[in-house]
Amino acid sequence: MNCADVRQHWELYYDSEGDSELYLQINEHLAACQGCAKWFFQQAQFEDAVTAKLAAAEPTAELWQRVLYETGVARPASARGWAFFSPFLALAASLLLVVGVWQFAPQRPPEHLSELTAVVHQQLTDESEQIEFSSLSDVEVEEYLKDRVSFPVRCPPRKDAGFEVRGGGVCTIAGDPAAYVVGRVENKDVSIFILPAERLAQFVHERDVLSREAVHHCHEGEYDMVLAKVDRNIVVVIGRGSPDKLERVVRAYGTYPHDPA
Amino acid sequence: MAKPSDDRTARFLQHLEPLKAALEAYCRRSVHDPSGVEDVLQEAVGKAFRDFHLYAEGTNFRAWIFRYLNLEIYAGNRSFHRERREALANEPTVEDVWEHAIDEPLIERLLGEPERILSHCDEALATAIGELSPLERSVLLLRAIGQFKHREMADILEVPMGTIMSALSRARARLRLRLAEYAREHGLLGPGSLQNPK
C-alpha cells in the first residue's frame, strides 16, 4: 500500500470498520512512514476532539423521571409520607457520606489496573467466577457487551489475530463496570479487559506509562500483560501467552469483522 | 410473585439505564426545536416500551431503541419546520455546501491544534451540525455519541451501508470546512491568534 492508498482508507481505519487485513497493512505502512503516521495522528486527534465535544454528558435525572412517568414505564413515588422526613434523611445521608469519605479515603492505596485485572483473570480462569456469556462468535460477544455497558466497546480480536474468543461479560474494576472478553491464544487462557478511556485518570501508574508508550508490556505475578489506549477504550490483555502474541491481540482489538452483507 | 408486566418493565429499564445519557445527548443535538427534547424522548421511549414484546432478548437493544428515537426526531423536526413554514427541503443540500472549494491549508491549520480551536467553537459546532443534511447529521451523531458502527447505523436509519459511509465522510468534511472558516473569520488560526480574537 502506498501513501495515497493508506490515506484513502483512514476513515475505515479510524472507525475500526475495515477488515483486519486492511488494518494490519495500514499499521505496517504507518510504522514505516512518518509522514502518514503524523497525518493519521492529526486526523484522529481532530475527530477525537469533535467526539469529546459531542459525547454524552450525564443524563438529566429530572427529565428522565418525567419521561418514564409520562410513558408509564415508572410509577410516581407512592410513599408520600416519606416526603416530610426527606430533608432529615438527606442530611443524615450526607453526614454519613462525609464521615465515610473522611474515614476511608485517606487509607485507600493507589490502585493498579494491572493488579486488579489479574485478580479477575485468575477468577475467570479457575472458574471461581463464571463467564457471563459464552460464545465462540466475536460478533455475538460484542453485541452482548455493547448492550450491557454504557461506554463504547469494540469488537474482540478474531482468529486471524491468534485469538479464539470464548465469551465475555461485565465485571467490576475499582468500583466501576469494565467489560471483559475471554478466549485463548495458542491454547492458553487470555482475558481482555475494556474500560472507558476516561478512567485512565483513576490509575496513576498506567496513566503515566501510557502517556509515554502507545503499548505497554508488564508482568503481574505469573501473567504477561499488555496495555494500550485504543480509541475511547483502555484495553488490557492478560494471560500466559508470549508478549508478542498478546500485543498482536491488543492491536487487533476493534478491527471490524467481515460483514457478509 | 412478580407479575409478567413488572418483569417486562424491569427488563426494559435495565436495558434503558446505561443508554439514557447517549439517548438524551443524541436527541439534544438532533432536534431543531430545543424545547421539544422532552416530548421527542417521551414519544420514543413510550413507543419502544409499547413494542418491547417485539424486542428479541440478546439482540442489539441500543440500535433497536435508537431507531425509535431517530424516527421521532425526524417527525419532530418535520413538524417544527411545517409550523415555521420552512420545509426540510429548504435546508442547504449536501451539494450546496459540498461544492465549496476545500481550502486544504486552512483545514491543515485547523487539524494542527483542534482542542484549542474547538474550545472556542461551541456555537459554531452546533451551527455546523445543524447545517448538515438530516442523514449526515444522524450518521455523524450516531457515530460520535452512540459509537455505532456502519452496520448498526444502516439498521437504525434503514439505508444501505454504502450510503452510511459516504454520508459520514461528507459530514466530517463539511464540519471541518465550516469550523475552519469560522476559526479563520474569528482569528483563531495561527500562533498568538487567541490573544487578540476578532
Chain A positions touching B110 (Cβ under 8 A) are 46
CATH 3.30.200.100 boundaries in chain A: 113-252
Residue A147 reports pLDDT greater than 60: yes
pLDDT of residue B94: 46
DSSP annotation of B150: H
Contact A55 B111 (CB under 8 A): no
Task: Kindly report, residue by residue over A157-199, the tens digit of the pLDDT.
Answer: 887 778 899 999 999 888 888 999 999 998 899 999 999 888 8
Contact residues for A23 (Cβ-Cβ < 8 A; gap 6+): A13, A16, A252, A255
The counts of H helices and E strands in chain B are 11, 0
Give chain A as a DSSP string: --HHHHHHTHHHHHTT-S-HHHHHHHHHHHHH-HHHHHHHHHHHHHHHHHHHHHS-----HHHHHHHHHHTTSSPPP--TTHHHHHHHHHHHHHHHHHHHHHHHGGGPPPP-HHHHHHHHHHHHHTTSS--SEE-S-HHHHHHHHHTT-SS--PPPP-GGGT-EEEEEEEEEETTEEEEEEEEEETTEEEEEEEEEGGGGGG-HHHHHHHHH-SEEEEEETTEEEEEEEETTEEEEEEESS-HHHHHHHHHHTTPPPP---
Task: For B167-190, give one letter per residue: b (16+ CB within 10 A) or e.
Answer: bbebbbebbbbbbbbbbbebebbe
Q: Note the pTM of the prediction, 2 decimals.
A: 0.63
Chain A positions touching B59 (Cβ under 8 A) are 143
Q: Are B105 and B146 part of one and the same domain?
A: yes
Chain A positions touching B137 (Cβ under 8 A) are none
Q: Thinking of the domain A113-252, which architecture would CATH place it in?
A: 2-Layer Sandwich (3.30)
pLDDT of residue A187: 87
Assess A261–B contact: CB distance below 8 Å, yes or no: yes
**Residue B6: inside a domain, yes or no?**
no
Q: What is the C-alpha to C-alpha distance for residues B105 and B103, in angstroms, rounded to an integer?
A: 6
Assess A152–B contact: CB distance below 8 Å, yes or no: yes
**Residue B21: inside a domain, yes or no?**
yes
Residue A40 reports pLDDT greater than 80: yes
What SS3 class is residue B134? helix
pLDDT band (50, 70, 90) for residue A261: very low
Q: Which domain holds residue B121?
A: 92-195
Chain A positions touching B143 (Cβ under 8 A) are 15
Give B 87-146 residues with CB within 8 A of chain A. 110-112, 114-115, 118, 122, 125, 141, 143-145
Q: Are B20 and B65 part of one and the same domain?
A: yes
**Residue B2: inside a domain, yes or no?**
no
pLDDT of residue B189: 73
Q: Are B85 and B119 part of one and the same domain?
A: no
Preferred mutation among B55, B149, B152, B169 to probe A, highest tally of A CBs within 10 A: B149
Q: Distance, in angstroms, between B75 CA and closest chain A CA? A: 18
**Residue B1: inside a domain, yes or no?**
no
Preferred mutation among A65, A146, A256, A259 to probe B, highest tally of B CBs within 10 A: A146
pLDDT of residue A260: 36
Q: Inter-axis angle of helices A61-70 and B37-50, to 10 degrees?
A: 50
**Residue B189: inside a domain, yes or no?**
yes
Contact A42 B125 (CB under 8 A): no
Q: Are B19 and B39 part of one and the same domain?
A: yes
Task: Kindly report, residue by residue over A93-110, the tens digit of the pLDDT.
Answer: 666 666 555 555 544 455
pLDDT of residue B171: 95
Contact A50 B175 (CB under 8 A): yes
pLDDT of residue A158: 80
* Closest among B60, B61, B73, B64 to B26, alpha carbons compared: B73
What SS3 class is residue B196? coil
pLDDT of residue B92: 46
Give B84-104 as a DSSP string: TT--GGGSPPHHHHHTSPP-H
User: How many alpha carbons fall within 13 Å on the CB side of residue A79?
Assistant: 4
Q: What is the C-alpha to C-alpha distance for residues A237 and A228, in angstroms, rounded to an integer?
A: 9
Interface ipTM: 0.81
* Domain stop point among B89, B111, B143: B89
User: The domain spanning residue B84 has which CATH number?
Assistant: 1.10.1740.10
Residues B190, B194, B196: CA angle, nearest 5 degrees: 110
* Closest among A169, A185, A255, A171 to A226, alpha carbons compared: A185
Assess A63–B contact: CB distance below 8 Å, yes or no: yes
Q: Are B120 and B39 part of one and the same domain?
A: no
Q: Which residue from B20, B21, B62 is facing A147, i.e. has the nearest CB?
A: B62
Task: Kindly report, residue by residue over A205-243, the tens digit of the pLDDT.
Answer: 888 888 888 888 998 888 899 999 887 789 999 998 788
pLDDT of residue B79: 75
Q: Are B32 and B73 part of one and the same domain?
A: yes
**Residue B83: inside a domain, yes or no?**
yes
Q: Percentage of chain A surpassing pLDDT 70?
A: 84
pLDDT of residue A143: 81
Q: Are B98 and B130 part of one and the same domain?
A: yes
Q: Are B98 and B188 part of one and the same domain?
A: yes
Task: Kindly report, residue by residue over B136-160, the tens digit of the pLDDT.
Answer: 999 999 999 988 889 899 999 999 9
**Residue B31: inside a domain, yes or no?**
yes
Task: Kindly report, residue by residue over A50-68, the tens digit of the pLDDT.
Answer: 988 888 678 899 999 999 9
Q: Are B69 and B99 part of one and the same domain?
A: no
Give B 8-47 residues with CB within 8 A of chain A. 9, 12-13, 15-16, 18-26, 29, 37-38, 41-42, 45-46
User: The domain spanning residue B96 has which CATH number?
Assistant: 1.10.10.10
Residue A144 reports pLDDT greater than 90: no
Assess A11–B contact: CB distance below 8 Å, yes or no: yes
Print pLDDT tens along chain B (198 aa): 556 667 889 999 999 998 999 999 999 999 988 899 999 999 999 999 999 999 888 788 999 999 999 999 998 888 776 655 444 444 444 444 444 555 677 777 788 778 888 888 888 899 999 889 999 999 999 999 988 889 899 999 999 999 999 999 999 999 998 888 888 888 877 654 444 444
* Domain stop point among B38, B66, B89: B89
DSSP β-bridge partners for residue A216: A227
**Residue B53: inside a domain, yes or no?**
yes
Q: Are B98 and B83 part of one and the same domain?
A: no
* Closest among B135, B138, B152, B139 to A259, alpha carbons compared: B152
Q: Are B124 and B180 part of one and the same domain?
A: yes
Question: Between chain A and chain B, how many beta carbons pairs sit less than 8 Å apart?
Answer: 112
Q: What is the C-alpha to C-alpha distance for residues B140 and A54, in angstroms, rounded to an integer?
A: 10
Q: Are B84 and B21 part of one and the same domain?
A: yes
pLDDT of residue A161: 79
* Domain stop point among B89, B122, B157: B89
